[in-house]
Amino acid sequence: MELLRDNVEPEDIAIFSGFTLSATFWLLLSTLVGVLISFKFPYPDFLTSPYLSFGRLRAIHTNDTFYGWASVALCGAALYVAARTSGVALRKKRFAWAGLILFNLAAICGTTTLDLGISHGSQEYREWVWWVILLFLAALVCVFVCLVSTVARRVEREIYISNWYTIGAFVFTILLGITAYVPSYQYGMGQVAVQAFYMHNAVGMWFTFLALGVTYYALPKLLNRPIYSYSLGVLGFWTNLFFYPMIGAHHYEFTPLPWWFQTLAIVFSVGMLVPVWAGTGNFFLTMRYSWETVRRSYALPFIVVGVAYYFLGSTQGTVEAFRGLQALWHLTSYTVGHSHATMYGFITFIAWGAIYALLPRATGKRPSLLITGLHFWLATVGVTAYVVFLSVGGTEQGITWASGNPFIASVDAAAPYWVGRAAAGVAMFAAHLFFAYNVYLMTFAPGRETLRYERTPQRVSA
Amino acid sequence: MNNVWTLIAASAIIYGAFCIAMGVVPGVAMSHLKPLPGAQPLNAQQARGRGIYVSEGCSYCHTQNIRPLAQDKVFGRPSVGEDYVYDTPQLLGTERTGPDLTNIGLRQPSDVWQYIHLWDPRAVVHDSIMPRYTWLFEVKKNADPGDITVPVPPGFAPSGEVVVPSPQAQELVAYLKSLKQVPLPGAGAK
């Protein structure tokens, strides 16, 4: 199947390219920081400075991957998907540009303030102070305006399932951000309760929805066959919406949050198997009989790994929520392994798959096959090693505590696995350098416009 | 669903209800607990110290949350919601790369130990992987009148010079020393 170029307005190409370039910059920065702090486990005296200390850089790593990389990469893809599925060019493009500027402003201010020690509190993904998150929410509103205006002008009668997911993601996340950052009702344990809700929903109501939305477009497009079941997609949408908001408290098991409240979260964590298995089953059934196409594609292997990690990471999340296993694994490095299985194995791989699938169609420029292969294998082997090292190391930490050893024994037990994790992190960062070079080839690189246009003319908007 | 506005409205109403039920209501309910008898709010110096604890991200490695589990008994009694009445932003933490600090004020009540440990954790705990917080100290040729000098073991500080904790280090240590659980009412003598 020949890869063909979409008929797209030049400014739509520029918007998609701009979002991807910006996201790539923050991916490189945030994962460079990640590699640096992973080396501080074996070498705690390496780069002793307030501005390069573990406690400040950890928040920079997590927030910049969250808000600077994954959000922006998936927003760029979501806008492109909205235009393609609606059969029109992007509407209100100025809002897309404003969104991109605000995303970057938020990431720059967030990184700077955290490095200066100005923080909303060490609450994961809620470290940015209120005015920085306000910039981010303003960016969301801007991109949302562009997205909705485009879908509202669609040629088809039905709203394609991708746009259900992406529009939902924006609605949920804007509401979630407001709920989490209004300060006047959260003190002490009350703030813990809100943090449990916010932190987990920021992952599952934002990134999961965006990633599934772009997959529902990219996967059938790449395979040149329809999605296996539209109904499973709709089932996934509603069950994710109804189950996910209930499960946040499983991050605070065995805390003073009410016991029944924690139990409720565990019960719905099991419920999450419904949307996860519906979604992954749907994707794998769409891919069945097409493994030769997958093997020959630039983008499909990334989506395969992304869907596999969606299945593994989310199912792991359900299992991890059981009290018997939380007692062993909670507070250990196991949790960090899990968050990389999901935010990296799932979300980041889907973002790469979407970019490799769609950006060449927009710009007409292919990535390098060799560089894509290096990117794929370094990232896949890297993240898998990362998760395995921290899962085993975290389990050892938990067992050491449970056997009543002095605390430092758990540090000694995990130490070799932390070295392994740092090595895996280097492989992952190397993969990002190859990805960045490919992004250059797909955007700025001169003389690479080799793709032929699709025959179907575009319905140009008025 | 064929109308984009219906989709937006339905999503917003359903999720808005979840935000209230699972976010706002638990947040409000848990924000109005009464402090335990004997619990004191931090004084100004300790509160500034807590600010440094937040800025430096101490709680990425140190929890302040004792679970009702056998392996947590070593840190104190299980935490209750009332323990956190004066704790905003909350510092329960989600990782325990270093030990829990709920009762560090009881476990390590010595200023000297805390200063040496912040200057170089490996001077007191050989295998520790905690960062050094050298920027909370001044290294001088001679101590000025009124300076506290930290008796750093030989080999862990420049020889011929003295290590003096800055006001920030004093605030942080004041905060750490304030971290002590108060007994639960009716818990009886133990």
Tokens of A147: 């997205």
pLDDT on residue A449: 86
Tokens of B157: 């500080």
Query: Tokens 């032929």 belong to which residue?
Result: A452
Local structure of residue A348 (DSSP, 8 states): I
The answer to whether residue A48 sits within a structural domain is yes
Local structure of residue B23 (DSSP, 8 states): I
Option in A49, A50, A186 nearest B27 (CB): A186
Q: Do A128 and A63 form a contact (C-beta atoms < 8 A)?
A: yes
Option in A56, A164, A330 nearest B57 (CB): A56
Q: Which residues of A touch B93 (CB under 8 A)?
A: 122, 331
Q: Do A296 and B55 form a contact (C-beta atoms < 8 A)?
A: no
Run of H or E including B139: strand B137-140
DSSP string, B136-181: GEEEESSPPTT-----PPTTSS-TT-EEEE-HHHHHHHHHHHH--P
Run of H or E including B15: helix B4-18
Contact B127 A411 (CB under 8 A): yes
Contact A54 B57 (CB under 8 A): yes
The rounded mean pLDDT for chain B is: 95
Q: Which residues of A touch B31 (CB under 8 A)?
A: 185-191
**CA dist., res. A306 & res. A312, Å (int):** 10
Q: Which amino acid is at A212?
A: L
Q: Which residues of A touch B59 (CB under 8 A)?
A: 122
Q: Do A236 and A280 form a contact (C-beta atoms < 8 A)?
A: no
Contact A176 B19 (CB under 8 A): yes
**CA dist., res. A161 & res. A97, Å (int):** 25
The answer to whether residue A405 sits within a structural domain is no
The answer to whether residue A215 sits within a structural domain is no
Q: Do A209 and A165 form a contact (C-beta atoms < 8 A)?
A: yes
The answer to whether residue A142 sits within a structural domain is yes
SS3 A284: helix
Tokens of B96: 């325990």
**CA dist., res. A101 & res. A113, Å (int):** 18
- What is the C-alpha R_g of chain B? 22
Query: Tokens 């705690």 belong to which residue?
Result: A44
Q: Give the sign of the dihedral formed by CA A284, CA A269, CA A121, CA B76.
A: negative
- What is the C-alpha R_g of chain A? 21
ipTM over 0.85: yes
Residue of B nearest to A192 (CA): B90
Q: Which of A189, A234, A326, A403 to mutate to test the interface with B (most CBs of B within 10 A)?
A: A189
What CATH number has the domain bearing residue A94? 1.20.120
Q: Which residues of B touch A252 (CB under 8 A)?
A: 92
B14 at interface of A, judged by CB pairs closer than 8 A: yes
B96 at interface of A, judged by CB pairs closer than 8 A: yes
Query: Tokens 């399932």 belong to which residue?
Result: A161
Give the list of residues 6+ apart from residue B150 with CB closer than 8 angstroms, or none.
B112, B115, B116, B119, B137, B157, B162, B163, B164, B165
pLDDT on residue A456: 59
**CA dist., res. B28 & res. A328, Å (int):** 31
Q: Which of B3, B6, B87, B95 to mutate to test the interface with A (most CBs of A within 10 A)?
A: B95
Q: Do A177 and A42 form a contact (C-beta atoms < 8 A)?
A: no
The answer to whether residue A69 sits within a structural domain is yes
**CA dist., res. A366 & res. A378, Å (int):** 20
Tokens of A383: 């993240």
Nearest residue to A168 (alpha-carbon basis) of B8, B23, B13, B17? B8
Contact A176 B56 (CB under 8 A): no
The answer to whether residue A43 sits within a structural domain is yes
User: Å from B20 to nearest chain A CA?
Assistant: 8
Report mean pLDDT in 10-residue bins for chain A, 462 residues. 85 98 98 98 95 97 98 98 96 98 98 97 94 98 98 93 97 97 92 96 97 97 94 95 95 95 96 97 95 92 98 96 96 97 98 97 95 98 98 98 96 98 98 98 91 67 42
Which residues span the domain enclosing A24? Answer: 1-157
B171 at interface of A, judged by CB pairs closer than 8 A: no
List domains and CATH numbers for chain B: 41-178 (1.10.760.10)
Contact B23 A158 (CB under 8 A): no
DSSP string, A227-240: -S-HHHHHHHHHHH
Contact A175 B15 (CB under 8 A): yes
Contact B11 A172 (CB under 8 A): yes
Tokens of B20: 């209230």
Contact B131 A40 (CB under 8 A): yes
The alpha helices in A153-272, defined as continuous H runs, are: 161-181, 189-201, 208-223, 230-243, 259-271
- Per-position pLDDT tens, chain B of length 190: 679 999 999 999 999 999 999 999 999 999 999 999 999 999 999 999 999 999 999 999 999 999 999 999 999 999 999 999 999 999 999 999 999 999 999 999 999 999 999 999 999 999 999 999 999 999 999 999 999 999 999 999 888 899 999 999 999 999 999 999 999 987 654 4
pLDDT on residue B187: 67
Option in A189, A408, A415 nearest B33 (CB): A189
pLDDT > 90 in chain B, percent: 93
**CA dist., res. A287 & res. A29, Å (int):** 34
- Domains contained in chain A, number: 1
**CA dist., res. A337 & res. B24, Å (int):** 30
For chain B, give the number of residues.
Answer: 190
For the entire predicted model, the pTM comes to 0.96
Q: Which residues of A touch B23 (CB under 8 A)?
A: 176, 179-180, 193-194, 197-198
pLDDT on residue A183: 83
DSSP string, A133-166: HHHHHHHHHHHHHHHHHHHHT-SSSSPPHHHHHH
Q: How many CB atoms lie within 10 A of CB A308?
A: 17
Q: Which of A118, A255, A400 to mutate to test the interface with B (most CBs of B within 10 A)?
A: A255
Tokens of A208: 């999961």
Residue of A nearest to B4 (CA): A152
B4 at interface of A, judged by CB pairs closer than 8 A: yes
A271: left (phi over 0), alpha (psi -120 to 50) or beta: alpha
Q: Which residues of B touch A333 (CB under 8 A)?
A: 95, 97
For chain A, give the number of residues.
Answer: 462
Query: Tokens 């967030």 belong to which residue?
Result: A110
Nearest residue to A385 (alpha-carbon basis) of A329, A435, A344, A433? A344
* Kind of pairing between the strands at B137-140 and B162-165: antiparallel
Beta bridge partners, A449, equal A365
C-alpha dist (Å) from residue A407 to A410, B13, B43, B99: 6, 48, 31, 7
The answer to whether residue A298 sits within a structural domain is no
Residue of A nearest to B34 (CA): A188
Contact B30 A53 (CB under 8 A): no
The answer to whether residue A124 sits within a structural domain is yes
Q: Which residues of B touch A190 (CB under 8 A)?
A: 26-32
pLDDT on residue A199: 95
Q: Which of B19, B58, B124 to mutate to test the interface with A (most CBs of A within 10 A)?
A: B19
SS3 B48: helix
Is omega for the bond preceding A44 within 30 degrees of 0, making it cis?
no
Contact B65 A255 (CB under 8 A): yes
